[in-house]
Amino acid sequence: MPIIVRLDRVMADRKMSLKELSERVGVSNVNLSKLKNGHVSAVRLSTLEAICAALNCQPGDILEYQPEDG
């Protein structure tokens, strides 16, 4: 998949746990964990906005595009 999710890195930089982010964003631990591990095919913009607000970051800090070779 050419979209890489860097949520774990941003959370570590902010010293924020998954539980704390879940509480701030209003999304379950399970769903945030799936996002963090790249096991989702879509993210609502409202969820991305809430995550960015909670982590004081930009969407590009969380999502990275890496084109596939070929």
Which pTM was predicted?
Answer: 0.90
Q: Where are the domains of the chain?
A: 3-60
CA angle 40, 35, 33 (to 5 degrees): 125
- Alpha-carbon distance of 62 to 35, in angstroms, equals 10
Q: Tell me which of 3.40.50.410, 1.10.260.40, 1.10.3720.10, 3.40.1190.20 is the CATH number of domain 3-60.
A: 1.10.260.40
Write the burial class of residue 18 (CB in 10 Å: 0-12 exposed, 13-18 middle, 19+ buried). middle
| Amino acid symbol at 56 | N
Determine the average pLDDT of the residues in 3-15.
Answer: 95
pLDDT one-digit tens code per residue, 51-66: 999 999 999 999 999 9
Q: What is the pLDDT of residue 70?
A: 52
Give how far the C-alpha of residue 20 lies from the chain's centroid of Cα atoms, to the nearest Å: 13
DSSP secondary structure code for residue 41 in this structure = S
